[in-house]
Structure 1
């Protein structure tokens, strides 16, 4: 990562600075390279500015003072990282980014817990696909004259003579359902994020 190096006259100052900046890099590691660099440069510029206006004060004292004002990276950056990760997730629709964003935002409101649960429910469809492969006669979609339906595992539907409606199309329908619901839930998450930023 290319950043402007700050020159220090004291070795202790350099060690304190390097340690602080490494913590920032570690905390922002989940972000994209550009977001990570933006945050790093922002903190770096605050430290650089403070050191330029030290007014005859000891370098290490000025550095410690500005670091104290900037705060502990693990705490100060937590909401910003959560927000940036959510932005990345809703732009890319990447499931890994989505789950990381939700885990980072889980303490930021009940709605994120609901989204997390909705995404977890998609694994029910995955389970049904594998269950259909292992036990094709007891897994499926049964429908009876508009009065009732069963999706999933059912011995009773077979025993009552209700035919399995989807048959061989069950697995493709489940895959399509996973993709559709994932897309819709992520769009809702994107909409929720856009409301929060207004």
Structure 2
């Protein structure tokens, strides 16, 4: 519900505020129109309940009580993107959702950072598997002459023996896929 505003400055303020709301909600999915309508009705009710003053003053007071759209919509947006990402296993949606969760602050930040680091490590492991054919003497699981073991991307060491050979590629990719599914299900479980 949009209030009937007579003051052009109030209209510009309304349009500016709800343009930002619309921009943020464009990523939110199915509930965006209902949420926008609820916000507009809340602002209109708040304006109507405010004591006298110009339309612009009452609108400014209502919008300032509500706050900046990014502050209250970011947690909702994070939840929606993570929900869609964990349902479809889309790394892009999950990444966007985790970004908004980190920016939302509080307990969400710690959880989002932990999952973000986990997904980043999985991407690094997948990249190492892709590098094996190109840089085989440096990528893999190596046992050095002194008995120590090095894994991942390592410097060339004389007398080091590659333990897995080309098997490191499918083993790494299977582990990455399994861990990706497990982490995504864990992230989905945190949401419910």
How many angstroms apart in 2 are the aligned matches of 1:76 and 1:70?
8
Matched, 1:27 2:24: yes
TM-score by length of 2: 0.76
Matched, 1:12 2:9: yes
Aligned to 1:68: 64
Q: Which runs of 5+ in 1 are unaligned?
A: none
Aligned to 1:174: 172
Decide whether aligned partners of structure 1 residues 174 and 8 sit closer, same or farther in structure 2, where only a CA change above 3 A counts: same
1:104 to 82, 100, 104: 100
Q: Which runs of 5+ in 2 are unaligned?
A: none
Aligned to 1:139: 139
Matched, 1:152 2:149: no
Q: CA deviation at 1:120?
A: 1.0
Q: CA deviation at 1:148?
A: 7.6
How many angstroms apart in 2 are the aligned matches of 1:89 and 1:118?
15
How many angstroms apart in 1 are the aligned matches of 2:87 and 2:162?
42
TM-score by length of 1: 0.74
1:159 is paired with a residue whose SS is: coil
Alignment of 1:14-93 (within 5 A): 14-32=11-29, 34-50=30-46, 58-93=54-89
How many angstroms apart in 2 are the aligned matches of 1:16 and 1:53?
19
Decide whether aligned partners of structure 1 residues 57 and 191 sit closer, same or farther in structure 2, where only a CA change above 3 A counts: same
CA RMSD of aligned residues (A): 3.1
How many angstroms apart in 2 are the aligned matches of 1:36 and 1:44?
12
Q: CA deviation at 1:55?
A: 8.8
- Matched-pair contact (CA < 8 Å) for 2:141–2:168: yes
How many angstroms apart in 2 are the aligned matches of 1:56 and 1:130?
67
